[in-house]
């Protein structure tokens, strides 16, 4: 066993793309998806760990893995994590909207606190690489709540001593979401010409699978920097 991937936000737009691509990627032996509920998907490489994300700091990964164990299949995984004989990469695409969250406070809890707590838990478990889906315009000083929170998360993640922290800032995301977002759908229609005519790379909408591919690519490249910001225009080639 060489590498395992932790994945949070799996049921979301980029999260599902990450899951499918990580399953197909021979670099990773196991994908551990964490979330509040199980996905309707089974694969020999996929392990699902379920719990309240707001309490992830108190999760005992070993006991949760053993709860999922059938016939001792999890023993090599538990042993590898305990002995730190496996490289752990974490991919985080956690996020919501104020409308879906129900309040600004709940939005902040999910987009900021859940992400930071997941990162700290991963680091405590032995994670070396953390790759986070931020957003175009992320800035802790922004007057726009969404951009400000993303910026705050980026700054707070930098404090956690990962070997590599990748901050991915996609523009408007293209893909099939489970929930309908009116503003996003209108924006897609208005910005589609940027894709057709290959204009304004910085602001051009980007597909979910491109972001996922970029994250996996950067996770497996030798890096001379500990923190790296990957802009939307740099992900368009994937």
What distance in Å separates the CA atoms of residue 25 and residue 217, rounded to the nearest whole number? 10
Question: What's the pLDDT at 56?
Answer: 96
Question: What's the pLDDT at 176?
Answer: 61
List, for residues 10-31, the tens digit of each pLDDT value.
Answer: 999 999 999 999 999 999 999 9
> Is pLDDT above 70 for 141?
yes
Given this structure, which CATH class describes domain 3-235?
alpha beta
Question: What's the pLDDT at 72?
Answer: 72
Structural domain boundaries in the chain: 3-235
3-state SS string for 89-117 = EEEECCCCCHHHHCCHHHHHHHHHHHHHH
130 pLDDT band, cuts 50/70/90, is very high
Task: Please state the rounded mean pLDDT for residues 18-46.
Answer: 94
Question: What's the pLDDT at 189?
Answer: 47
Task: Please state the rounded mean pLDDT for residues 215-232.
Answer: 97
Helices 75-82 and 61-68, axial angle in degrees (round to 10)? 170
């Amino acid at each position: 066993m060489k590498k395992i991937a932790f994945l949070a936000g799996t049921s979301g737009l980029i999260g599902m793309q990450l899951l499918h691509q990580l399953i197909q990627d021979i670099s990773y032996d196991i994908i551990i998806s964490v979330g509040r509920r199980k996905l309707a998907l089974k694969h020999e490489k996929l392990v699902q760990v379920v719990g309240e994300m707001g309490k992830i700091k108190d999760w005992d990964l070993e006991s949760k893995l053993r709860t999922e164990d059938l016939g001792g299949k999890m023993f090599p995984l538990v042993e590898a994590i305990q002995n730190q004989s496996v490289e752990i990469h974490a991919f985080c695409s956690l996020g919501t909207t104020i409308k879906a969250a129900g309040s600004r406070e709940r939005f902040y809890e999910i987009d900021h606190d859940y992400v930071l707590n997941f990162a700290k838990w991963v680091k405590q478990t032995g994670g070396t690489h953390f790759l986070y889906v931020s957003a175009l315009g992320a800035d802790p000083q922004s007057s726009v709540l969404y951009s400000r929170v993303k910026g705050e998360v980026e700054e707070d993640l930098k404090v956690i001593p990962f070997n590599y922290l990748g901050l991915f800032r996609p523009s408007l995301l293209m893909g099939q979401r489970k929930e309908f977002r009116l503003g996003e759908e209108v924006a897609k229609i208005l910005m589609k010409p940027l894709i057709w005519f290959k204009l304004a790379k910085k602001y051009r909408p980007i597909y979910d699978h491109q972001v996922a591919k970029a994250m996996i690519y950067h996770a497996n490249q030798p890096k001379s920097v500990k923190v790296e910001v990957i802009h939307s225009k740099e992900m368009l080639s994937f």
